[in-house]
Chain A
């Protein structure tokens, strides 16, 4: 098992000083090499669960075991270095840095984190930087083809790309890194059809390199097309976790999202 979530509880206090339990015992196993979708209504705590895994939300009980490490006491950057990559819900590229610099940051650091090593070994540092640049350009070619438009925009500011393009490019950045697990928070939300298909093919490509993918998604077609299994977060627990093939996807398209989830899993059980 690559990732094990065991009995995770967390609560928040709102502005009126009322405490509410958001997660009330989430347990879930993610197998190595699998593609797992996480569904759940708005505000059900999906993003919070991702924040717990990637170390941004520390106030929880239960345990998160990744590749044999308990992540409880590790800061976000250390968790990322263990091999967990993440796509956020919101903006994606760092504004103020060029596209190339953004991608370069995604390449793993051969040169470790020691502050002075770049001053002491300038030659090696320059070599490593060059390698990162090449890797970034290679990945753009691999994902979008020879002579694609992004190759002409390597020196454009990260914020000059459209929202959809930023999502694609940050997926490219994740592909460069040597992560074992990718957490993708609603990869297709808010993008148009053309980007939707590209994102699907990128995720499939990334998965084919053996990376494990755990993603939050609302679009059932997208889930059906790419995921091996699907988990439902509802009322603070994982109510279902089963292979996507077992789910009766055809039922009731026009229903609201929450009803849809209930329907789908009712049919199946």
Chain B
């Protein structure tokens, strides 16, 4: 049983890590607490459902459409709301409140258009793989393999590409970034497109396995944010450590104890880290000119 719980936890953890990275690249570079990410998550799942179930496209095509639409909506949040606020010199708290507003608009529009009922994408009972005692369903297998590939791809891109370098430079020191002649707005455009794509992939993978409803976003985002914090704020690869830790702990607690304690685990872990290892949270340095 233990091995099964750990495997389930790791698979969930990969998914948390992915969403955490989508949130973290925005948070680290712009310092916006991008709650609307939960709205993008729900939007992506519904677009995936819309194009694969009623419209009947192949899951891969529907997934791609969902990713592209979510990237556009993510950029729209930036260009329509965050960037004008920044140019008006609004504080990060104001941006966060605007983000909560965006979340409400997105979720309510989706509930209005598609209803509040849960939906499923994968209807046939899925095949599964058994290795000894451990059972892995095929949606889980897709989740973990696509998730791991995408995470590695992002980490390599951040480490190796010119844009990755800019993104890291912007998150570590915005003032030096500007004084070296780089346009923060152009970099933010790339960041929101990337973040939208990552959030959509994470969402599509979950929706394919577990189905979707308009309230799914916040639960997952809270776990992802906890993953980001316990992994260590300010970097991207730390999301993977935080995500896997959280996924496994949640799986163990809900396996041996009760599933209703799953969210409590997130909060207890969060509090423990805030008290015992605050360095992870204070990892952001700012410069004064």
Contact = CB atoms under 8 A, between A and B. Distances in A.
Interface of A: 47, 51, 54, 56-57, 75-78, 80-81, 85-86, 88, 90-91, 94-97, 101, 104-106, 108-109, 111, 113-116, 118, 125, 128-129, 173, 177
A76 B179 CA distance: 6
26 contacts: A57-B289, A75-B183, A77-B177, A77-B178, A77-B182, A85-B179, A88-B176, A88-B179, A88-B287, A94-B172, A95-B285, A96-B168, A97-B168, A101-B169, A105-B165, A105-B177, A105-B180, A105-B182, A106-B180, A109-B182, A111-B162, A115-B163, A115-B186, A118-B161, A118-B162, A173-B180
Contacts of A75: 178, 183
B178 A76 contact: yes
A109 to B, nearest CB: 7
A115 B179 contact: no
A97 B165 contact: yes
B289 A80 contact: no
For the complex of A and B, the 6 pairs showing the least CB-CB separation, nearest first, are A80-B181, A76-B178, A96-B172, A81-B181, A115-B190, A77-B178
A88 B172 CA distance: 16
Contacts of B166: 105
B254 interface: no
Please classify the interface of chain B as helix (H, G, I), strand (E, B), loop, or mixed, using the class held by over half of its residues: helix
Given A56-B175, A80-B181, A90 B287 contact: yes
Given A118-B161, A128-B162, A129-B162, A94 B289 contact: no
Interface residues of B, number: 31
A77 B172 contact: no
Contacts of B179: 54, 76-77, 80, 85-86, 88
B217 interface: no
B139 interface: no
B289 A115 contact: no
Given A94-B176, A115-B189, A118-B162, A77 B285 contact: no
